[in-house]
């Protein structure tokens, strides 16, 4: 019954807006004028032409149907808004997470410092891990209600397709082929990266253009393997690929001298050098970046609401950073008079209902995990052993390309 009431209220509101637009704004009540302006500002208003359809007599003096376009557009806006007002419907993946009481997240076997790594007690930490925890906080209200399943580069997509895991958050590159052919959806970009090369300093190499004839360690079934082959071919060089299924095997082979070159996402190279090299100072990361590597979480096709929650959990962390909301001040910020902050934190309700979660979903994420900047600094930036510059992963207003659509 609440659903019917919401739709009826919305329809009445926009019917009033339609009448206001047809009669002119002069003399209208303030709330009618506001509703009329809101409808008229929707993106498709004024874009539809319907010759022969007329508004009130005398309202179309040029005879070209200008006012009729307005009327038809407003009618469509009213209908669309009534539909949008309906609460989100849960799908099978979201239902499974709620029934189970925890989220199952696929992470990389062998781990990766800064992104996903298990300590001696089996506790996983890292940026990709925190994305999973943010999703758990949004759905279940508790960032600890998540378990982690290690999967290899070859097994990860099968594990997701089969339902073994609910989502992947393991440094997976978003490509057209993966997004279309595998029955998967990418839910945003956690980290913008590019592929590079690491070599031992004793090799005496300053540029990737000097690697002709080198042996290169690469992971099987990855964009890394394809990119490096393309790069060598495009530059008229030859290479010998030494392919491994497991990242631990790659590290062991490279540091044992079986390969001249270790190639992968640059952040992976920095992490490997810091955490796994016998003597980190003996290794150099070459300056060339040979690809675009947008890394982010992946879900199955078929449950749009679950995909939306995964996507907006990450966007919420970016929005929180932009508005200065942190794990330390979020309780105080509940008292803010800023309408955007009130809406984001659920003080002004509506966003949680639209997503199908608690109105405190953003508060829960920020309080328990932090904003995007806090997460970055903790695992990759100044507060971590890696100390990687944010670069492209700065907020858009700080010269980067991390950008979240508004929560409104």
Tens of pLDDT along 212-267?
999 999 988 778 889 999 999 999 999 999 998 888 899 999 999 999 999 998 98
Question: In the prediction, which pLDDT does 13 show?
Answer: 47
Relative orientation angle of helices 247-255 and 266-276, to the nearest 10 degrees: 60
% of the chain with per-residue pLDDT over 70 = 78
* Complete DSSP assignment for 50-103: -TT---STTS-TTSSSHHHHHHHHHHHHHHHHHHHTSPPPP-HHHHHHHHHTSE
Q: Residue 212: what pLDDT?
A: 96
Read off the pLDDT of residues 364-404 as tens digits, 9 standing for 90 and up: 999 999 999 999 999 999 889 888 999 999 999 999 999 99
Q: Is the pLDDT of residue 29 over 60?
A: no
Average pLDDT over residues 32-57: 42
Phi, psi angles (nearest 5°) of residue 150: -70, 135
Residue 91 pLDDT level (bands cut at 50, 70, 90): confident
CA–CA separation, 408 and 388 (whole Å): 33
Q: Pick the closest to residue 302 from 183, 207, 385, 131 (CA basis).
A: 183
Structural domains of the chain in order of their starting residue, each with its CATH number: 2-84 (no CATH), 92-191+295-398 (3.40.190.10), 195-290 (3.40.190.10)
pLDDT of residue 88: 54
Output the pTM of the full model: 0.73
End-to-end Cα separation, the chain, in angstroms: 25
Q: What is the pLDDT of residues 163-205, one digit of tens each?
A: 999 999 998 999 999 999 999 999 999 999 999 999 999 999 9
């Amino acid at each position: 019954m609440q659903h019917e009431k919401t739709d009826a209220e919305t329809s009445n509101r926009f019917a009033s807006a339609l009448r206001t637009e047809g009669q002119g704004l002069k003399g209208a009540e303030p709330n009618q004028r506001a509703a009329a302006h809101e409808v008229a500002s929707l993106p498709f208003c004024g874009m539809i032409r319907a010759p022969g359809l007329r508004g009130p007599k005398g309202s179309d003096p040029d005879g070209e149907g200008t006012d009729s376009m307005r009327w038809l557009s407003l009618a469509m806006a009213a209908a669309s808004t009534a539909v949008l007002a309906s609460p989100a419907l849960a799908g099978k993946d979201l239902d499974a997470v709620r029934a189970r009481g925890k989220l199952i997240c696929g992470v990389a076997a062998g781990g990766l410092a800064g992104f996903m790594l298990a300590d001696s007690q089996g506790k996983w930490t890292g940026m990709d891990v925190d994305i999973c925890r943010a999703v758990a906080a949004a759905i279940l209200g508790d960032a600890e209600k998540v378990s982690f399943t290690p999967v290899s580069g070859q097994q990860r997509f099968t594990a997701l397709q089969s339902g073994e895991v609910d989502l992947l958050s393991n440094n997976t590159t978003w490509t057209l082929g993966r997004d279309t052919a595998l029955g998967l959806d990418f839910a945003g970009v956690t980290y913008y990266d590019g592929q590079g090369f690491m070599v031992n300093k004793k090799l005496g190499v300053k540029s990737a253009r000097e690697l002709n004839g080198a042996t290169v360690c690469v992971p099987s079934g990855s964009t890394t393997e394809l990119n490096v082959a393309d790069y060598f071919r495009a530059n008229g060089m030859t290479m010998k690929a030494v392919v491994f299924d497991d990242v631990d095997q790659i590290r062991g082979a490279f540091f044992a001298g079986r390969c001249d070159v270790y190639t992968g996402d640059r952040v992976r190279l920095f992490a490997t050098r810091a955490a796994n090299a016998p003597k980190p100072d003996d290794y150099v990361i070459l300056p060339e970046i040979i690809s675009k590597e947008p890394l982010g979480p992946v879900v199955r096709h078929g449950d749009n609401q679950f995909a939306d929650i995964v996507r907006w959990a990450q966007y919420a962390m970016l929005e929180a950073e932009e508005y200065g909301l942190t794990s330390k001040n979020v309780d105080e910020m509940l008292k803010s008079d800023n309408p955007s902050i009130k809406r984001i934190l659920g003080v002004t309700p509506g966003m949680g209902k639209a997503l199908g979660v608690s109105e405190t979903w953003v508060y829960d994420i920020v309080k328990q995990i932090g904003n995007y900047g806090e997460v970055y600094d903790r695992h990759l930036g100044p507060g971590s052993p890696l100390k990687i510059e944010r670069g492209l992963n700065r907020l858009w207003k700080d010269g980067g390309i991390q950008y979240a659509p508004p929560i409104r």
